[in-house]
Amino acid sequence: MAQFSGGGYLTFGILVLLGTRVPATLARGPRGGALQHGQSGTLPRFLEEPVDAYIVKSNPIKLRCRARPALQIFFKCNGEWVHQSQHVSQEHTDLGTGLKNREVTINVSRQQVEDFHGPEDYWCLCVAWSHLGTSKSRKATVRIAYLRKNFEQDPQGTEVPLDGMIVLHCRPPEGVPAAEVEWLKNEEPLDSSSSDDIGPQSRGGHNLIVSEARLFDSGNYTCVASNIVARRRSATATVVVYVNGGWSSWTDWSPCNVRCGRGVQKRSRTCTNPAPLGGGAFCEGMSVQKSTCNTLCPVDGGWAEWSEWSACGSDCERQRGRECTAPEPKHGGRLCDGVALATDNCTGGLCTQNRKLLHDAEPQGVESSGDVALYSGLAAGVVTVVLLIVAVTLYRRSQSQYGVDVIDSSALTGGFQSFSFKTCRQANPLLINSSMQPDLTVSRTYTSPMCFQDSVDKELMAERSLLDPLPDVKVKGVAERAEYHVTSHPQTFPRGPAPDYRGVVVGMTLGRGGQNLLAPQVSSPPGRRLNRATAVFGHAGGRLVVPNTGISLLVPHGGIAEDTTWETYMNIHQEDSSDVSEEGPEIFLSPAVTYGPPGLRLSCPVAMTVAHCAEVAADNWTVRLKRQLQDNKWEEVVSVDADSTSCYCLLEPHRCHVLLGHPGRYALVGEPLNQDAAKRLRLAAFGSPDAGNPLGFSLRVYCVDDTPHAFQEVAVGERSRGGQLLEEPKTMLFRGNTFSLQVSIQDVPQLLWSIKPFTTCQEFSFAQVWAGEQRPLRCAFSLERYNHSSSQLSCKIAVRQVKGEERILQVYTSVVESEKGAVPFFTQSDCTITSQTGSRAFKIPPSIRQRISATFDTANAKGKDWRLLAQKLHIDRNLSYFACQESPSSVILSLWEAQHQDSGDLDSLASALEEISKVQTPRTSTLSCSRKDSEFAQLG
């Protein structure tokens, strides 16, 4: 800041001299002129002193002083006088007192503060002069305001039980002035004085503490720090309040399951007291109890011998009787059939009654006697057959060498419960939907396709008596939690850059024993979105899912060596069919999926599930699994219908399950065998107002492969441009008959809307649709309404292949609605949890899986081995692949797990085990393992 010159000091000297002489002059005379103008003999008193200030960005600040009475006011900063030219002064006289008020302001710039280097902060004060002397104001400091970007401590997500304590720590970024902290819950400010937003809470410094957590305390919490410069948000912490399940009371025992003899009765209980909520643990113990029961067999009544005939009476009749005492009916048995009293004419028909021969009246009891013999014979036959069936059943059970847990489905259906999961989290992959309170009061069965809900303890119970015949394998009671954030373990491989298995940039990692693993880095093709999921798996295995794409990877239990973890990943690439084969009509039927790292070592194959768009109901395709080499060429691994010992493919109508032993990039490709070969297309119509025309409306129609990944790309793009889904997507078959695809708009109200000429029908060539030369395939229709009163649009979109199928999309929408629902990716909520580890990732509990494998891996005289298990699970093709595995049964169960990841029950496995228990014929077929695919085995 500029300092005073010599002239400035002279001015101050004159002012000081006047200050000492003028009071003396005034004192000598009566009321002088000065007193008449209100200049009383007092020191200046500050009416306004300079206050501490902060410089925001490059904006200068003003310091202000006001004193009365004051002849002059000057600022002094950092011990030096501020130049007079930098002062802005104002002076006026108080009419009430006649004293002079003087106000002075100066500007302080950022440059001045930055150039000052002293032991303390930049400061200024003001000095005021009157006739009696000077007065000094307080010091005002001037500092440069700032707020750093990174929080010193972000709040961390947590899971707490009901009525537990929630503690969220927050240390705001460094700043001047110090930042103030507030908390947001689901993007809404948290009112600490209200108990409606959150349970009883307190603040420890900047921390948020909830002493008694309630269910509605679950949500996304964000720490917000702000000062006069900026406002910073911490990472969002997801808090889940869970309730552990509790058993209800036992029901009454059911009736005995047999009508006669020894049987079984059951009673059950449910895990609803309370039901597990928010990821709470499922109840431990059995949900069903069984007990033996004995039911007294019913005894049907039987007739005793007839008594002797009575004497002939006056009515010419005689009688005899019998009793139902041989035996008496007991325990609900049937009464005797027939008559108990028989009557007969005792005169040979010579005696008459009412002038008629008695033999004209039909004798009683004769026909009934024949019925008694018939019914008695039938009853004896029925009893004999029942006893024979019971004896054969008991004999077969006593001769079976398998335990009930392998034969009886109750080991899988009665011993386990459906798994409960929390509601799906949406939006940000690590957050619950920030715009909506998560509904954790309802548990539901896991049925969402290819999407993890947050998992619960799934180490379910089986009756110990059912498992006794199997090898003694202890059941573990603890399962790992689902992985939300993946951090590298000190022994996690690899530690280098995450590879994508093709390219030239190489990162080096170390495996066990210091072995080098070369990890080529992949550069994703320009313009393509890269979908990726990663997780750290160990010996317990797990499942990795790329959300909303229909693609997952299952790493079996024991596939990774103990005390070793691998950071496993999956990438999805949408390839052009022009790259798959230089010659031939092959096209991609699925996205290309890469899993790694390349140096991943497995003791058993992983199961990869990939969605495809081929119509495989008819045999019109040759479907192959191909792998991309480092020179970007694709090499055939196996044909889906062929046998191989290096790879196994199980093709379903909408997806394919592949057992792989080597990381890499894989894709399903198809070669049409005839013109009837078809691929499925998904059709969707989106619309949005025309930004450049207030009366315009843009309608866009997409025709993409019917895979979740392809439609996800469309939905993401439309969401970014504000598009709205106008009709539920539909599927159609597009056949390989070389004919094009036509999209037309029909039934547009001509009096309300206009459309550009020659755009009502648009066409795509066969190659564009069949080979995916344009992704995504889209056509647009631009409409314009004649006036603002036309708010409704109704029309039809017809999509048809020439000489093929046709689909109609009915559009009916309001074009003036300000808000509509977001574009759905799928019918279920967006899922963002990409991995589960340990027993939570599998439908079959580890203990049951180990016992089934131990039972069926060993051949026996009755042929009940892994071959029969594969047959009953409908996985009986290419059995030579399983014969080459160390544990064929375990690999078969892994494939079954991949097949049934969408359902939460074990019915099909239980049914297969029941069918196996009924098989009596020994199997004599044998399989040999021949390593024919050595070239493929060397690629890994």
Mean pLDDT within 457-462: 38
| 56-90: pLDDT as tens digits | 988 999 999 999 888 889 999 998 999 988 999 98
- pLDDT of 7: 43
Contact 466, 403 (CB under 8 A): yes
Q: For residue 333, give both structure tokens.
A: 């048995």
Distance CA 320, CA 369 (A): 13
Distance CA 936, CA 618 (A): 30
pTM of the model: 0.49
- pLDDT of 237: 94
| 258-286: pLDDT as tens digits | 878 888 889 999 999 888 888 888 898 88
Q: Give φ, ψ of 801 to 5 degrees.
A: -95, 135
Give the single-character DSSP code of 392. H
**Residue 729 banded pLDDT, cuts 50, 70, 90:** very high
Distance CA 455, CA 484 (A): 11
Distance CA 748, CA 750 (A): 6
Residue-wise over 201-220: b if at least 16 C-beta within 10 A, else e?
A: beeeebbbebeebebbbbbb
DSSP states of 589-653 as a string?
SS-EEEEE-TT---SS-EEEEEE--B--SSS-EEEEEEEE-TTS-EEEEEETTS--SS-EEEE-S
Residue ranges of E strands in 371-455 = 420-421, 444-445
Three-state DSSP class for 854? Answer: helix
- pLDDT of 349: 62
Answer whether residue 348 shows pLDDT above 90.
no
Kindly report the three-state secondary structure assignment for every residue of 278-293.
CCCCCCCCCCEEEEEE
Distance CA 894, CA 83 (A): 86
User: Cβ contacts of residue 48 below 8 Å, gap of 6+?
Assistant: 64, 65, 66, 103
Nearest alpha-carbon partner for 458 in 21, 68, 840, 188: 840
Contact 553, 594 (CB under 8 A): no
Distance CA 170, CA 418 (A): 39
Three-state DSSP class for 436? Answer: coil
Mean pLDDT within 319-342: 88
Total length of the chain: 940
Query: CA of 864: how far to CAs of 853, 858, 919, 920, 922, in Å?
Result: 12, 9, 8, 9, 8
- pLDDT of 373: 66
- pLDDT of 32: 38
Three-state DSSP class for 873? Answer: coil
- pLDDT of 371: 62
Most confident of 739-748, 812-821, 866-875: 739-748
Nearest alpha-carbon partner for 877 in 642, 628, 625: 642
Contact 408, 188 (CB under 8 A): no
In sign, the C-alpha dihedral spanning 158, 163, 165, 168 is positive
Tell the residue number behind the tokens 């290309």, with chain if given: 592
DSSP states of 482-532 as a string?
PPSS----TTEE--SPPP-S-SSEEEEEE-GGG-EEEEEE-PPPTT---EE
Answer whether residue 818 shows pLDDT above 80.
no
Contact 570, 660 (CB under 8 A): no
> Could you give the angle at which helices 888-899 and 846-856 cross, rounded to 10 degrees?
130
Three-state DSSP class for 934? Answer: helix
Mean pLDDT within 580-600: 83
Contact 292, 324 (CB under 8 A): no
Query: CA of 467: how far to CAs of 666, 778, 848, 892, in Å?
Result: 40, 58, 8, 20
143 CB neighbour count, 10 Å cutoff: 16
- pLDDT of 6: 43
Distance CA 920, CA 631 (A): 54
Q: For residue 284, give both structure tokens.
A: 């431990």
Of the two residues 530 and 793, the one the predictor is more confident about is 793
**Residue 419 banded pLDDT, cuts 50, 70, 90:** very low
Answer whether residue 23 shows pLDDT above 50.
no
- pLDDT of 822: 42
Whether omega for the bond prior to residue 597 falls within 30 degrees of 0, making it cis, is yes
Q: What is the pLDDT of the chain when averaged over all its residues?
A: 76
Distance CA 301, CA 458 (A): 54
Residue-wise over 304-327: b if at least 16 C-beta within 10 A, else e?
A: eeeeeeeeeeeebbbbeebebeee
Q: For residue 142, give both structure tokens.
A: 């001037």
Answer whether residue 458 shows pLDDT above 80.
no
Tell the residue number behind the tokens 């030096």, with chain if given: 80
Q: For residue 296, give both structure tokens.
A: 């007294």
**Which amino acid type is present at position 617?**
A
Q: For residue 266, give both structure tokens.
A: 């059951």
Give the single-character DSSP code of 253. P
Distance CA 657, CA 615 (A): 16
DSSP element (H, E) containing 143: strand 140-147
Q: For residue 11, give both structure tokens.
A: 């001015």
Which value, in Å, is the radius of gyration of the alpha carbons in the chain?
45
Three-state DSSP class for 302? Answer: coil
Question: Any idea which of 60-74, 190-204, 881-895 has the lowest mean pLDDT?
Answer: 190-204
Contact 609, 682 (CB under 8 A): no
Q: How do 188-189 and 166-168 pair as beta strands? A: unpaired
Distance CA 93, CA 34 (A): 13
Of the two residues 445 and 561, the one the predictor is more confident about is 561
**Which amino acid type is present at position 141?**
T
Contact 509, 608 (CB under 8 A): no
Three-state DSSP class for 694? Answer: coil
Question: Any idea which of 306-315, 422-431, 532-541 has the lowest mean pLDDT?
Answer: 422-431
